Structure 1
């Protein structure tokens, strides 16, 4: 269990705690305010049951440069180090809709600490009031770190809005808690293989 992104907590304890919380409505804080948003327990409850450890072999022929598997159905990211000494499992956010979701093989082509953000042309068309640029910092939707993929506009990145994790909430990218993307940033390298399923 030490390879999990959960620290010292066991899967059984995690599931038991999640089941207990599922019976009580979960509230999320709205960004930059003290307002609380409605019950999000339904989306989280559905995610917990499929959040499980996987073996890399059905997905990759080798672990050269390490491997990242993103399962958009269970909303989980799996990482295996090249020497198999490290396995990590992280909850993620995934794209809002099927047409925004891209699947297949890619790789990390660039790593950025303190990323800036620009909406894609398609995002700007859907949301013309969005800003053209947001620099690094707490208002940046890409969080503290970003792993650029070989597909144009697609990234694995952090988020300052923790309500998004475990939900369909992105415009195409895969989001992680900032502390998790910082950790994954340290484990991966340019050339790390990535598969989205």
Structure 2
């Protein structure tokens, strides 16, 4: 929605561009022995937005069925349970974060990739297909509160695909992105500190 100056309003842009990834909160650490069973549902007070929400299907996983080793650490994104799992290279810790996932099967890419670049304070530009569908979107958004990539981004070897933060937390845990995987800013900042260029990434559905 355009404002009186002819510019795309911040709220309108974030509400749509957050399709790159976003959400509602959950604890940053879920160890395998502490994680609830798959399908278990509970209500929790959201410390960030002070609303009630449901958390379901979060469970701890072992890395061995998905990776042959943990060289450089490993990230598994389960687009069905909408969770990102991270294992450190030395197996000293394992964490699970809630994510946003693509809105449709057509936008979902599954398979193996890796982190090729890490950026704190990323800028953002819509892909050609996004711009075609949304001609009012800006061509470039600098780092800051209007940026749909949030505070940190991990760039993958697949063009246009990233694991990133978001300033719009309403869509974490939902099908809400154009292909990227979104996390809360505090969670991507934590993951950013763990992941390296070369960290293995596997997306499953």
Per the shorter chain, which TM-score range? 0.7 to 0.9
Q: RMSD over aligned Cα, in angstroms?
A: 2.6
Work out whether residues 124 and 142 of structure 2, in 8 Å CA contact, stay in contact via their aligned partners in 1: yes
Tell me which residue corresponds to 2:177. Answer: 170
Any idea what the Cα deviations from partners look like across 1:123-149, whole Å, max 9, x if unmatched? 111111111000000000000000000
Tell me which residue corresponds to 1:94. Answer: 101
Structure 1 unaligned spans of 5+: 30-39
1:37-116 to 2 correspondences below 5 Å: 45=54, 48-116=55-123
Distance of 1:132 and 1:181 partners within structure 2? 24
Tell me which residue corresponds to 2:194. Answer: 187
1:20 to partner: Cα distance: 4.2
Determine which of 152, 158, 170 is the counterpart of 2:159.
Answer: 152
Tell me which residue corresponds to 1:5. Answer: 28
Work out whether residues 30 and 95 of structure 2, in 8 Å CA contact, stay in contact via their aligned partners in 1: no
Scaled by the length of structure 1, what TM-score is found? 0.80
1:49 to partner: Cα distance: 2.8
Q: What count of residue pairs does the alignment treat as equivalent? A: 172
Q: Which runs of 4+ in 1 moved over 3 A?
A: none
Distance of 2:123 and 2:116 partners within structure 1? 17
Distance of 2:58 and 2:173 partners within structure 1? 10
Distance of 1:7 and 1:73 partners within structure 2? 18
SS in 1 for 2:132: helix
Scaled by the length of structure 2, what TM-score is found? 0.77
Summarize the Cα distance change of 1:20–1:116 in structure 2 as closer, same or farther, 3 Å threshold.
closer
Structure that is richer in helix per residue = 1
Tell me which residue corresponds to 1:124. Answer: 131
1:195 to partner: Cα distance: 0.1
Structure 2 unaligned spans of 5+: 1-26
1:160 to partner: Cα distance: 0.5
